[in-house]
Structures are given as structure tokens and as C-alpha cells.
Amino acid sequence: MSDLKYRLKVMVMMMVIVSWRCVLGLENINPIFFDEGLSHLFGESNLIRSPDDRSVRLLLDKYTGSGFISSSMYQHGFFSSLIKLPGANTAGLVVAFYTSNGDVFVKNHDELDIEFLGNVEGKPWRFQTNMYGNGSTSRGREERYRLWFDPSKEFHRYSILWNPTKIIFWVDDVPIREIKRKEEMRGDYPQKPMSLYATIWDASSWATSGGKFGVDYTFSPFVSEFKDIALDGCNVSESLTTVTRDNYNNINCSASDQLLMTSDYSTISPKQAAAMRRFRERYMYYSYCYDTVRYAVPPPECVILTAEKDRFRDTGRLKFGGSHTKVHRARKRRRRNRSTPVVSAEL
């Protein structure tokens, strides 16, 4: 290859990388070293840090799972990581990336979850998002989805934005769920400082087909990798030696909150809003907002869309032969006839 052709090729590659970063807003994401803001949670022998301290592997074997936690608690924040999940037979597994304050506020804890649910070999991973506020675990707000890619093949970025007015769950550059705070939610909207957690563990009793398929340890160890982890928000631990039920209100987070509310990842562009609608139409297969068996009156944060509601039974699950199945098959046919990759924002 001539020197000119080589330089042109490099320039094109750099332009693609820069444009991709701009789409995701990655120029505003600042990954940390593990020692900068994270610490071991459990299963120490199954937590393996990279030599450059930028990534960590979490393993599950027949003896233990593993996990890490942020060294500080945050009053609102943006929590993000590139994650790659285990492959092969992952039935019974759960890999979780979430925020919680359950260790401090035992009876009225808050929580924001991204939980990946393993599956039998040949079947895709599924995942769910959830929100609890003020210990409202009896009022779970689960949504469950499929992905438009295989999360065990390569890294993808998963993010949680939590500020005083909204919560957004992101997969790469696609916002998949937005919860806008309403006065009627009261304490059900998370309001207390939370830590970031990442774990891998055995959930054989429920994770796959309601517990029908448990973890098969002949496939172990199961390895999930996290890298380029970002923590951005009001670090209350810098001002409080110990966060308690009474003292967290003494911290002024107004400057940090303002940054969170004006950041790229707290704003959904028209293009991203369209991508979110397409994602939910094609890949969401359960929503508590349409589960009238559990909630005769939808919780106050629910925005009931006729186009969405028509696809779900009164259990909140897709009707048989719903649009997801048809769209999925059509997409597979299109992929067989296409040589160029799909841009995720286009879904």
C-alpha cells in the first residue's frame, strides 16, 4: 500500500471514530482507573483486574460469584461501563450493573437496575431495567427486553443517568427507557445517595424461564468483563465520612446537578427519541405499565402509548405473534442481503 493510500485510510478511520464518539457523547465520558473509585465487593479470588487497571473481569464458578462497588456514594450521577457478557450456556446467570443504597437505608432503599439474564445455549441473552424508590420493592417497575446484537461477542456501553428530574437507561447511543419525575411519585422516585455495583451471580431459581433452567457449572467459569467505567455526579462521601439516614441532606449538590441536567447524556435528541421508539417497539417484551393484573391503575410515571398498549396483554407481556416477532424475522432477511453494518442509532 502506498504511503498516500495508507494516510487516507488512517484519516478515514479517525473520522469514523470521531463521529462515533460524537454520536454517543463519549467526549464527555471520563473513564476512571479501578483504584480511583472502585473496590472489591465479594468473591475476591474471582475478581481479576487488568495490568493497566482500566478493566476488571468478574467470574462465577461453582464456589462463588464476584462483584465490585464504588468507593463513594453519589447524590445523582451518570454511571457507565463497556461490558461484555459470557457466551455459550448462560442459563441461570445474572450479570448486574446497578445503583443502590440498601446497605445504608435498609428499610427504605433506592435502586436503579440493569440486569442481564442468561439463557440456554443457542438462545439470546435478555435483560431488564428496574427502579425502586424508598423501599418500594413491592411496586417493582420492571421492563424486559431483547438486544439487537450478541452482547457476548464484543463490548457495548450500558449507562444509567439519574438526576433530580429524570432517569434514562442507555445502550450505546440508544436511550431505551426514560422516567420523568412527577410529583405524584413522591418517595418512589430515588432521592437518596447511591453506590454503583457490578456483580455476577447464580440466580437459578428465577433468571431463566422462571427457574426452569439453572446454572450448568460444566461451562464455568463464566466471565463478564467491564472496562472504561465512568462515575460522574455529586460525591457525597467527599463531604461526609459516613453517609447516614440523617446527614445526607446537608450536602449541596446544586452545581453537580446542574451539570448532570445539561449534559449530552441527559438530553434525548429527536434522532435518539426515534431510535428509542423503534427499540421499544421491536425489543421490549414486558412492561409493568401495561400489566393491569399487577396495576389496575398504572403508576404515575407511566406514559401510556396506544401503539405500545395494543401490542401487550393485560399481563404486560407481548401478545402472541406480536410485532417483535415479525420485525425480527424481517430484519434477519434484510441482514442476509446486506453487507454493510447497522448503525445502532438506526436500530
Q: Count other Cβ atoms within 10 Å, centred on residue 132.
A: 21
N-term to C-term CA, the chain? 35
Q: How far apart are CA 229 and CA 169, in angstroms?
A: 15
Q: Across residues 168-180, what is the average pLDDT? A: 98
Which residues partner with 347 through β-bridges?
none
Give alpha helix (H) positions in the chain: 3-24, 34-37, 254-262, 270-283, 306-309, 323-336
- Tally of CA atoms within 13 A in the half-sphere of 173 that contains its CB: 21
pLDDT of 245 reads: 66
Is residue 339 very low, low, confident or very high in pLDDT (cuts 50, 70, 90)?
very low
pLDDT of 169 reads: 98
Determine whether 111 is an active site residue. yes
Q: How far apart are CA 286 and CA 65, in angstroms?
A: 28
Determine whether 115 is an active site residue. yes
Is residue 342 very low, low, confident or very high in pLDDT (cuts 50, 70, 90)?
very low
* Amino acid identity for residue 218 in this structure: T
pLDDT of 330 reads: 47
pLDDT at 81 over 60: yes
pLDDT of 241 reads: 74
Q: Count other Cβ atoms within 10 Å, centred on residue 245.
A: 13
73 φψ region: left (φ > 0), alpha (ψ -120 to 50), beta (else): beta
Residues found in the chain = 347
Q: How far apart are CA 189 and CA 183, in angstroms?
A: 9
Give the percent of the chain with pLDDT over 90.
76
DSSP 8-state code for residue 312: B
Is residue 175 very low, low, confident or very high in pLDDT (cuts 50, 70, 90)?
very high
Q: What phi, psi does 271 have (nearest 5°)?
A: -65, -40
pLDDT of 333 reads: 54
How do residues 22-77 score in pLDDT, each as one tens digit?
344 545 688 999 999 999 999 999 999 999 999 999 999 999 999 999 999 999 99
Q: Is the dihedral of CA 191, 192, 198, 199 positive or negative?
A: negative
Q: How far apart are CA 301 and CA 275, in angstroms?
A: 21
Write down the catalytic residue from 115, 143, 225, 301: 115
Q: Across residues 1-5, what is the average pLDDT? A: 53
- ∠ CA(172), CA(261), CA(264), 5° rounding? 35
Is residue 332 very low, low, confident or very high in pLDDT (cuts 50, 70, 90)?
low
Cis peptide, bond prior to residue 221, ω within 30 of zero: yes
Write down the catalytic residue from 27, 36, 111, 238: 111
Cα distances from 1 to residues 10, 12, 16, 138, 179, in angstroms, run 12, 15, 21, 64, 52
pLDDT of 183 reads: 96
Q: Across residues 204-214, what is the average pLDDT? A: 95
- Cell numbers for 113, please give them: 437496575
249 φψ region: left (φ > 0), alpha (ψ -120 to 50), beta (else): alpha
Average pLDDT for the chain = 87
How do residues 231-250 score in pLDDT, each as one tens digit?
999 999 877 777 776 677 77
Question: Among 19-23, 121-125, 243-247, 336-340, where is mean pLDDT lowest?
Answer: 19-23
Q: Across residues 254-261, what is the average pLDDT? A: 94
Q: How far apart are CA 128 and CA 130, in angstroms?
A: 7
Alpha-carbon Rg for the chain, nearest whole angstrom, is 21
